[in-house]
Amino acid sequence: MRLNIFTVDAFAQKPFTGNPAAVVPLIQTLQDSTLQDIAKELNLSETAYVSPTSASVEEDKSQQWGKSSRFSLRWFTPTNEVPLCGHATLATAHVLFHHLNNNHKQIEFETKSGVLLARKLGENILLDFPKNPPGELHPSLRADLAGLVKATVGDDLPVKELKISHETKKLLVRLEDSCTRQNLESLRPDTGILMSLHDGSVIKGVMVTLRGNLALHKKEEEEATYSKDNKEYHVLSRYFAPWNGIPEDPVTGGAHTVLGPYWSEELGITKLKCRQCSPRGGDLDVTIRSDGRVDLAGQATTVIQGYINI
């Protein structure tokens, strides 16, 4: 069997930046073990499997890529399936809009995290995701995770606050405002040590975050838009997820469903310009809505298009 495959750099304006994801359009049903084997073989942070849902029994699903406005979507890391992935959703929408000739301005994805929307917004694609505001750590859990936090940020960088998103199993580690972007970018945690300190039962990823330069300015007008050339940000972050087989995720949409609500409350604004400071790096515009949702906007570019034989 031969399957189409696309490799897309998400939250990126040019190749070899942002976060790469594989997108595999499916018109046939494959066993979960096969989906996992493909993701393991590709060895990217995420492999997305997308299929049209609107075709009737009599219709050929292969004709539905351009006509359908609703698709099923699943995401696999090299080691397991995950309930939510932002960058692979962006990559999937990019493939549908730009390679499979989908003629809708907005498409819906049926996922294990509910129905997600993606729509064209100029050069960006905007994703409509659930908001996952982090909460307080129980004192006993804080004590249990103290070694993990220290192994992530080291001895020299002071930590201002710890939060947890139980829904996404993400730990938020905010550095003191005295820390710099260079401090954040210099982090090199040993993922083997991280995994030895926690079994992944409570935490699947650690977000280290820092207030950006824009947060030092007076409050932005809510209708403000951001220039491509503006390299200042409200929020800086990195994300380490070895429990999902990802030593460091270059740009993480799902993490910003946690970071966005946190920093929105801290800074008193609802529109955030965010930078994930991995070696590849990527930009996201995050808007916190009043209906319990988060809009994540970014660009994507296709790097590889071909086939995989199974």
- The full set of domain ranges for the chain reads 2-131+299-309, 139-288
What is the pLDDT confidence band of residue 60, given thresholds at 50, 70 and 90?
low
Establish whether 59 is a catalytic residue: no
Structure tokens at 72: 């099923």
pLDDT for the residue numbered 214: 86
| Span 275-298, pLDDT tens digits | 999 999 999 999 999 999 999 999
The active-site residue, picked from 46, 108, 220, 248, is 46
Same fold, 2-131+299-309 and 139-288: yes
CATH classification code of 139-288: 3.10.310.10
Q: Are strands 271-276 and 205-211 parallel, antiparallel or unpaired?
A: unpaired
**Percent of the chain surpassing pLDDT 90:** 85
Distances (CA, A) of 64 to 2, 86, 208, 296: 19, 24, 41, 26
pLDDT for the residue numbered 59: 55
- Correct CATH for 2-131+299-309 of 3.10.20.90, 2.40.50.1070, 3.40.50.300, 3.10.310.10: 3.10.310.10
Asked whether residue 56 carries a pLDDT value surpassing 70, the answer given is: no
Asked whether residue 48 carries a pLDDT value surpassing 90, the answer given is: yes
What is the pLDDT confidence band of residue 228, given thresholds at 50, 70 and 90?
very low
Instruction: Taking residues 46-53, report their average pLDDT.
Output: 96
